[in-house]
Amino acid sequence: MRTVRHWCERAFFALECVVTALLYPYCVLRQRWDIRPRVPILMYHQVGQPLNERGAGDCVSPERFEQQIRAILDAGYRIVSLSTFLRRLRQGAMSDLSRCAVLTFDDGFRDQFVNAYPILRRYDVPATVFLIAAYVGRDVVFPHLATVGAGVSPGWHPLGWHDVRTMARAGIEIGSHTVSHRSLGLLAPAEARREVEQSREILEEGVGQPVTLFAYPFGSQAYGDFDGQLADVLREAGYDGACTTVVGTNDQRADAFALRRIPIDESDGAFRIRCKLVGAYDWVRAIKSSWQRLVPREDRVDADLVR
């Protein structure tokens, strides 16, 4: 079954590259005439060396990351903070965000500070880093990565508090990725609420700044990682918005607590970046959602919290 799944995913990736490229000219024309700007929120994880010999996974090299930042800027896009996007969304002022993009990083790996942060500083662009609150400052492997085996590079360990505060003082936004990185949709309501509220308390105490941004662990609507009730919990806890892993750009009709994102990986060169910025990759959302409804997930979504 795993082999069949692997080959299906590889075949789809090849098809996806072709379809996305073919859609690019149409999306460029649509962008030129559409009065409703579509804002891509780009989703990164690690910026460094691959986790193991099986491949890059959710990882881009520092060299590729810098190329991608340059590609965004060379395409005429302005990179704005997630809080700026949410403020414009609330105000109904999305027209101010024409040809804008947002950068986000999930989990909070050490190499995000070592490799990505200097590049962000070099190009003077903002970003948001979503942290798993219970793991900041711990010399451990994140629970959802525990199945990869031994020999995990220290760059894949959690960020330390000093590095987090350094980034926050420089304008990098700090958001919550819960306390323990378990799927909130699999938890009892009281436990999910604790993950939401306590993570914010831990991060605000550690950073010394308000934390009002959130990203759902795993973030799939098809797998039930978030829903309207969880969005209400986030609102009540004082958050301004939340990101998912649902594929797509965001226009003025976007739900602030179910924001779509565009995954970025090592294979994304300058043209692929332009395709994703302009919305040519958005069609993948329907296929990915259908696939997730048919195929059981492989992610470790119920990992125990480190005590």
pLDDT surpasses 60 at 110 = yes
Residue with tokens 């700007």: 37
Q: What kind and span of H or E run contains 213?
A: strand 213-215
pLDDT surpasses 60 at 305 = no
What are the structural domains of the chain?
Answer: 2-294 (3.20.20.370)
pTM value is 0.94
What is the reported pLDDT for 8? 74
Which residues, 6+ apart, have CB-to-CB distance to 296 below 8 Å? none
Q: What is the arithmetic mean of pLDDT over 138-154?
A: 76
Q: What percent of the chain has pLDDT over 70?
A: 92
Q: What is the arithmetic mean of pLDDT over 271-278?
A: 98
pLDDT surpasses 90 at 156 = yes
Cα separation, 23 vs 16, whole angstroms = 10
What is the reported pLDDT for 307? 39
Give Cα 271 distance to the centre of its chain: 21
In tens, the pLDDT along 204-255 reads 999 999 999 999 999 999 999 999 999 999 999 999 999 999 999 999 999 9
pLDDT surpasses 90 at 149 = no
Structural tokens at position 65: 């990351």
Burial class of residue 28, CB neighbours in 10 A (0-12, 13-18, 19+): middle
9 band by pLDDT with thresholds 50, 70 and 90:
confident
pLDDT surpasses 50 at 123 = yes
